[in-house]
C-alpha cells in the first residue's frame, strides 16, 4: 500500500540542509508530542492504537442502525461531518439506490427549507440520528438538533432515546449534559483530537460503518500510513515531500493550491482537504489558499484561468489509477462522430490521457504541478490517503511556524452572530 508522488520541478533543489534540520525537529516533535499544539496530536498515533473492541462496538451500533433504520441523519459541521461524507461519497457507486440505508446530513448549514423538507422526507422512513459536535456548543448543528430531536420525540415517543446517538467530547459541553440527561448512547471525541483530524474516530467511523463500508480496512490503511510516515527520510517520506514542495512554492509566491481530480466521487474528499489545509494553515496572514476543480468539467470553465490567468496557482492532481466498471469505446458503423480512432480505449484511459494533456498544457502555462496517485478507491487506500494528507498538513503548517490545530479565526464570526442575535453574555 502506497501513494505515488511526482513533482514537475526538481525536488532535490528545494531541500537545503537547513530545511532538513527544521523538518527533523518538526518530525520528532510530532512523534514525541511536543511543540506547539501538541495537546492536539492525538490523531498522529491514533490508527495504530485503535482497538478491535472499539471497532467492534462501532460496528455493532452500525449494524443495529442498519437493521432498524432506513435513514441515518448525521448532524454536524466542519470536521464533524466532512470526513465521513468524503469517505462515503468516494466509495458509493454513482446512481446508488440506497436500498439498505441512506446517510443524510444536517446542521452543516442553516436552511429552513432544507430542514423542513428533510423532516418531510423522513416521515415514511425509520430514522436514527447521530449528532456530532466535539465542543457540543456549535450553533448550526445545535439548531438542527433542536428541530430533529423534537421530530424524533414526536414520532417515536420514549423510543426516540434509543434512536439518537451523540458523539461529543467526554469532558464538557451542553451536548454532553443533554445526552446524559436523556440517556442517549454516546461516543467520545478524544480531547486531544480536533474536528478536522477526527475522521478515524467515532466521528467518522460510525456514519461510514452505517453506510456499509469497512471501518476495519479504513483503519488498516491509516495504520499502514502512520507506520510509513514515521520514518524520517526527506527522499522517501512522501508526506514530508508534499509539505516541502508546497512550502517552497509558497515561498515563490504561489499562494493558491488547486486540488484537481478526474473523479466526481471525490468532490467531498476535496471539501475535506480544503477544510484540513485551510483551517490548519490559514493564520497570521499566512498560508496557501486551498481550492479544487473537477476535470474534465472544470477544464471548460476554470481551465482558462489556470492556463492563462495570474501566475499564483499550483496544481496538485489526485489520480485514481484503476477504476471499477469501466467502459471501452466501441467501433461505430458509420463513424459520423469521427471517434472510431478511440476504439478499444477505456474511458479511464481517456482520463489518464486527459491528465497528461492537461498537465503538459498547464506546465507550458507555468503552473507548477504535484501528482498524487492511489491505486483504487477502496477503504484501505482512502484510509492511507487521508492519513497522508493529515500528517503532511501538520508539517506544512509547522513549516510556516503556525499551530496546525487551532482555529482562532472561526471564533470571530461566532462572536458577531451572538452579538447580533443578543445571546446572553454577549
Ligand atoms: O476542525 C475543527 O475543529 C472545526 O472545523 C470543527 O470540526 C467545527 O467547527 C465543528 O466543531 P464542533 O465539532 O465542536 O461542533
pLDDT tens, position by position, 265-282: 999 999 999 999 999 999
Is 232 buried (19+), middle (13-18) or exposed (0-12) by CB count in 10 A? middle
383 lines ligand 1 (CB under 6 A): no
Q: What is the mean pLDDT of residues 346-361?
A: 92
Atom of ligand 1 nearest to the CA of 197: 1
- Does residue 263 have an active-site annotation? no
Q: Do the beta carbons of residue 274 and residue 291 sit within 8 Å?
A: yes
Q: Are residues 234 and 357 in the same domain?
A: yes
**Domain final residue pick, 213, 236, 264:** 213
* 415 occurs within a structural domain: no
Q: Are residues 107 and 230 in the same domain?
A: no
Tell which residue, 214, 205, 166, 204, has the closest CA to residue 188. 166
pLDDT reported for residue 147: 98
318 pLDDT band (50/70/90 cuts)?
Answer: very high
Q: Do the beta carbons of residue 225 and residue 387 sit within 8 Å?
A: yes
Q: Are residues 67 and 102 in the same domain?
A: yes
278 lines ligand 1 (CB under 6 A): no
* 28 occurs within a structural domain: yes
**What is the greatest pairwise CA distance in the chain?**
75
DSSP character for 184?
Answer: -
- Three-point CA angle 66, 74, 219, nearest 5°: 70
pLDDT reported for residue 100: 86
- Does residue 279 have an active-site annotation? yes
- Does residue 150 have an active-site annotation? no
108 lines ligand 1 (CB under 6 A): no
Q: Are residues 230 and 137 in the same domain?
A: no
Of 79, 179, 281, 386, best ligand 1 pocket probe by most atoms within 8 Å of the beta carbon? 79
**Domain final residue pick, 213, 231, 249:** 213
Q: Do the beta carbons of residue 403 and residue 397 sit within 8 Å?
A: yes
Residue 127's DSSP bridge partners are 71
Q: How remote is the CA of residue 158 from the centroid of ligand 1, in Å?
A: 30
Choose, from 89, 188, 279, 315, the residue flagged as catalytic.
Answer: 279
Q: Are residues 174 and 299 in the same domain?
A: no
What is the C-alpha separation between 413 and 420, in angstroms, rounded? 10
Domain that holds residue 277: 4-32+222-399
191 lines ligand 1 (CB under 6 A): no
Q: How remote is the CA of residue 78 from the centroid of ligand 1, in Å?
A: 5
Q: Residue with the nearest Cα to atom 15 of ligand 1?
A: 133
196 lines ligand 1 (CB under 6 A): yes
Q: Sign of torsion, CA 136 142 144 149?
A: positive
* 424 occurs within a structural domain: no
pLDDT reported for residue 412: 86
Q: Are residues 271 and 361 in the same domain?
A: yes
- Three-point CA angle 255, 257, 258, nearest 5°: 145
138 lines ligand 1 (CB under 6 A): yes
* 226 occurs within a structural domain: yes
- CATH number at 344 reads 3.40.50.10490
What is the C-alpha separation between 44 and 388, in angstroms, rounded? 11
Whether 18 shows a pLDDT value over 80: the answer reads: yes
Any idea which of 131-135, 283-287, 351-355 has the lowest mean pLDDT? 351-355
Quote the number of domains for the chain.
2
Residue 315's DSSP bridge partners are 258, 369
Q: What is the pTM of this model?
A: 0.96
98 pLDDT band (50/70/90 cuts)?
Answer: confident
Q: Are residues 177 and 311 in the same domain?
A: no
Count of other CB atoms within 10 angstroms of residue 151:
19
Any idea which of 21-25, 249-253, 296-300 has the lowest mean pLDDT? 296-300
Q: What is the mean pLDDT of residues 305-332?
A: 94
Interacting residues of 163 by C-beta distance below 8 A, sequence separation 6+: 68, 69, 127, 128, 129, 152, 156
Q: Are residues 281 and 167 in the same domain?
A: no
pLDDT, mean over the chain: 95
The proportion of the chain whose per-residue pLDDT surpasses 70, expressed as a percent, equals: 100
pLDDT reported for residue 323: 85
Q: What is the mean pLDDT of residues 374-385?
A: 97
What is the C-alpha separation between 291 and 417, in angstroms, rounded? 27
Q: Are residues 91 and 139 in the same domain?
A: yes
pLDDT reported for residue 414: 84
Instruction: State yes or no: cis peptide before 17, omega within 30 of 0.
Output: no
Detail the DSSP E strand segments found in 150-266: 164-169, 185-189, 256-261
Atom of ligand 1 nearest to the CA of 173: 14
* 414 occurs within a structural domain: no
324 pLDDT band (50/70/90 cuts)?
Answer: confident
249 pLDDT band (50/70/90 cuts)?
Answer: very high
Q: Are residues 104 and 21 in the same domain?
A: no
What is the C-alpha separation between 43 and 223, in angstroms, rounded? 11
Whether 112 shows a pLDDT value over 80: the answer reads: yes
Tell which residue, 337, 344, 361, 372, has the closest CA to residue 262. 372
Choose, from 94, 113, 300, 338, the residue flagged as catalytic.
Answer: 300
Q: Do the beta carbons of residue 126 and residue 70 sit within 8 Å?
A: yes
- Three-point CA angle 383, 104, 132, nearest 5°: 70
Q: Do the beta carbons of residue 120 and residue 232 sit within 8 Å?
A: no
* 38 occurs within a structural domain: no
pLDDT reported for residue 80: 97
Is 200 buried (19+), middle (13-18) or exposed (0-12) by CB count in 10 A? buried
What is the C-alpha separation between 245 and 9, in angstroms, rounded? 9
pLDDT reported for residue 415: 87
Q: Are residues 18 and 64 in the same domain?
A: no
Name the residue with cell 423538507: 117
78: which 3 cell numbers?
466542519
What is the C-alpha separation between 404 and 418, in angstroms, rounded? 26
380 pLDDT band (50/70/90 cuts)?
Answer: very high
Q: Residue with the nearest Cα to atom 3 of ligand 1?
A: 195
Q: Are residues 209 and 227 in the same domain?
A: no
* 97 occurs within a structural domain: yes
Q: Do the beta carbons of residue 268 and residue 89 sit within 8 Å?
A: yes
**Domain final residue pick, 153, 179, 213:** 213
* 417 occurs within a structural domain: no
**pLDDT per position as a tens digit, 153-212:** 999 999 999 999 999 998 888 899 999 999 999 999 999 999 999 999 999 999 999 999
What's phi and psi for 119, nearest 5 deg? -65, -35
Residue count of the chain: 426
Amino acid at each position: 500500500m502506497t501513494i505515488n508522488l511526482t513533482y514537475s520541478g526538481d525536488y532535490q533543489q528545494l531541500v537545503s540542509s537547513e530545511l532538513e534540520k527544521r523538518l527533523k525537529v518538526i518530525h520528532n516533535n510530532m512523534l514525541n508530542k511536543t511543540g506547539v499544539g501538541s495537546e492536539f496530536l492525538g490523531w498522529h498515533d491514533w490508527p495504530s492504537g485503535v482497538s478491535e473492541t472499539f471497532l467492534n462496538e462501532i460496528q455493532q451500533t452500525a449494524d443495529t442502525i442498519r437493521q432498524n433504520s432506513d435513514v441515518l441523519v448525521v448532524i454536524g459541521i466542519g470536521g464533524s461531518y466532512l470526513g465521513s461524507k468524503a469517505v462515503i461519497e468516494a466509495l458509493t457507486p454513482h446512481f446508488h439506490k440506497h436500498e439498505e440505508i441512506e446517510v443524510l446530513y444536517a446542521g452543516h448549514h442553516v436552511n429552513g427549507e432544507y430542514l423542513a423538507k428533510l423532516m418531510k422526507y423522513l416521515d415514511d422512513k425509520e430514522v436514527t440520528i447521530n449528532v456530532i459536535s466535539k465542543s457540543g456548543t456549535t450553533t448550526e448543528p445545535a439548531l438542527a438538533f433542536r428541530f430533529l430531536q423534537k421530530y424524533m420525540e414526536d414520532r417515536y415517543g420514549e423510543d426516540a432515546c434509543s434512536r439518537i446517538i451523540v458523539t461529543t467530547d467526554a469532558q464538557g459541553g451542553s451536548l454532553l449534559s443533554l445526552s446524559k440527561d436523556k440517556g442517549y448512547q454516546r461516543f467520545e471525541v478524544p480531547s486531544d483530537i480536533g474536528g478536522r483530524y477526527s475522521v478515524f474516530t467515532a466521528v467518522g467511523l460510525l456514519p461510514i460503518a452505517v453506510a456499509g463500508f469497512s471501518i476495519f480496512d479504513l483503519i488498516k490503511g491509516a495504520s499502514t500510513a502512520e507506520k510509513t510516515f514515521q520514518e524520517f527520510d526527506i527522499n522517501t517520506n512522501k508526506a514530508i515531500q508534499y509539505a516541502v514542495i508546497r512550502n517552497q512554492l509558497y515561498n515563490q509566491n504561489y499562494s493558491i493550491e488547486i486540488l484537481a481530480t478526474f473523479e466526481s466521487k471525490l468532490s467531498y474528499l476535496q471539501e475535506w482537504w480544503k477544510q484540513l489545509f485551510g483551517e490548519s494553515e490559514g493564520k497570521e496572514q499566512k498560508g496557501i489558499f486551498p481550492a479544487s476543480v473537477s476535470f474534465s468539467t472544470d477544464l471548460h470553465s476554470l481551465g482558462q484561468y489556470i492556463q492563462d490567468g495570474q501566475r499564483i496557482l499550483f496544481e496538485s492532481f489526485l489520480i485514481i489509477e484503476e477504476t471499477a466498471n469501466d467502459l471501452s469505446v466501441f467501433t461505430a458503423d458509420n463513424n459520423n462522430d469521427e471517434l472510431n480512432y478511440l476504439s478499444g480505449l477505456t474511458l479511464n484511459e481517456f482520463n489518464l490521457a486527459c491528465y497528461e494533456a492537461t498537465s503538459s498544457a498547464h506546465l507550458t502555462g507555468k503552473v507548477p504541478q504535484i501528482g498524487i496517485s492511489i491505486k483504487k478507491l477502496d477503504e484501505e487506500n482512502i484510509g492511507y490517503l487521508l492519513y497522508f494528507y493529515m500528517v503532511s498538513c501538520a508539517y506544512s503548517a509547522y513549516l510556516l511556524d503556525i499551530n496546525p490545530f487551532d482555529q482562532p479565526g472561526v471564533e470571530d464570526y461566532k462572536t458577531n452572530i451572538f452579538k447580533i442575535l443578543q445571546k446572553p453574555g454577549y
